[in-house]
Amino acid sequence: MSILIRDLRPDDLRDVESVVRVRRAALPFLITSAGDLTFELSSAHPAKHHRVLVAETPDGEVLGTAQAGIAHDSPRPGQGYVNAYVDPARRGIGAGRLLLRTAEEHLAAQGAVDSYAWVLDEPAHRAFAERHGYRPGRSGHFLRLDLAAAELPALPDALPAGVELLPAEAFAADPRPLFAIDAEATADEPSDVGADLDDYQDWLNHTWHHPSLDKTLTIVALVDGRAVAFSAARTDGATRYGSAMTGTLRAFRGRGLAKLAKNASLHRARAAGYTEAFTGNDSGNEPMLAINRWFGYEICATETHFTRRLGTQWPSN
């Protein structure tokens, strides 16, 4: 079958929804919507060279999709990313291979040295990555909590002296304190590629203004009036709640503030009618995994971050 690879047409709602359908089928633990996808393209920093590719048949059936670009905020230059998803019902006809080839050509043209890809821990997916010259690195878990049924830890009757909890919307006039926490937390999150958040405008563009960020469910912990920890929530506006980042300034870790902020957020989310909570953690992130176990989250899938040095030939099949 001949398969065409092209860029997503962000102004064509049917095209956008086809890509959302494939992403949801491939990774049901992520919150994905048409609005998020168009925002992903429109808010991307120019240095990311972010593209969303589509694999389709000559009669216009979308078989798969990939997003590819440069991790422009990594402390190591030349780190590219490609995440390819093929409709589970349309695997094995070459869409994944063509998506990967087109994405790698794009990365190489933008000066990438390495290509990183998240791959589900299923034999067929790992074999696909290895066949194309990729080698495994760190792994990460998707975790799920049945929020409707969970026995969440009780909220404390009184907060510790000097501690206050506020929703993120209280920082609407000046969210810079939350950027400062996010920058420190992101730098400390275990990762193969890393990220230095030093561009406040870029953070406003793609994090603070993210259409799924719920600023009433995102909870900030303050100590003596200073914002020091938060737990960020994204939702689908219906039943699904996802953690976007939980972070505490280094000087305030180990005092229970992340637990406090996330617990308040989960309680509010349940009261607002959300029934399922999702998150993703590096498999070596012991503090965050301990916190999520405390809430009752369970691992529902594992991915491995595979990498390939670009500029070398794909092994022959």
Ligand X SMILES: CC(C)(COP(=O)(O)OP(=O)(O)OC[C@H]1O[C@@H](n2cnc3c(N)ncnc32)[C@H](O)[C@@H]1OP(=O)(O)O)[C@@H](O)C(=O)NCCC(=O)NCCS
Q: Helices in the chain by DSSP H: which ranges? A: 13-26, 34-42, 95-109, 123-131, 176-188, 200-203, 257-271, 286-295
Asked whether position 223 contacts ligand X by CB under 6 A, the answer is no
- Interaction of residue 178 with ligand X, rule CB under 6 A: no
Q: Does 253 bind ligand X (CB under 6 A)?
A: yes
14: number of Cβ within 10 Å: 10
232 binds ligand X (CB under 6 A): no
Residue 163's DSSP bridge partners are: 223
Task: Candidates 18, 218, 248, 263: give the one binding ligand X (CB under 6 A).
Answer: 248
Q: What is the C-alpha to C-alpha distance for residues 86 and 70, in angstroms, rounded to an integer?
A: 22
User: How many CB atoms are located within 10 Å of the residue 271 CB?
Assistant: 9
User: Which residue, 219 or 291, is less far from ligand X as judged by CB?
Assistant: 291
Q: Minimal CA–CA distance to 291: which of 315, 268, 257, 242?
A: 257
Work out how close the CB of 284 gets to ligand X at its nearest, in angstroms, rounded to a whole number: 10
Q: Is 259 in the site for ligand X (CB under 6 A)?
A: yes
The CB-of-14 to ligand X minimum distance in angstroms stands at 34
Q: Is 196 a binder of ligand X (CB under 6 A)?
A: no
> Does residue 257 interact with ligand X by CB under 6 A?
yes
The Cα 281–Cα 292 span in angstroms is 9
Shorter beta-carbon distance to ligand X: residue 71 or 84:
71
Site for ligand X contains 233 (CB under 6 A):
no
Q: Is residue 194 involved in binding ligand X (CB under 6 A)?
A: no
Residue 281 as a binder of ligand X (CB under 6 A): the answer is yes
- Interface with ligand X (CB under 6 A), residue total 22
The Cα 92–Cα 71 span in angstroms is 29
Q: How far is CA 233 from the centre of its chain?
A: 12
Question: 286-305: which residues touch ligand X (CB under 6 A)?
Answer: 286-288, 290-291
Using rule CB under 6 A, residue 263 touches ligand X: no
Out of 121, 189, 236, 276, point to the residue binding ligand X (CB under 6 A): 189
User: What are 120's strand-pairing partners?
Assistant: 303
Helix 13-26 and helix 34-42: axis angle, to 10°? 110
H helices present in 34-188, as ranges: 34-42, 95-109, 123-131, 176-188
For binding to ligand X (CB under 6 A), which residues are involved?
Answer: 185, 188-189, 229, 245-248, 253-259, 281, 285-288, 290-291
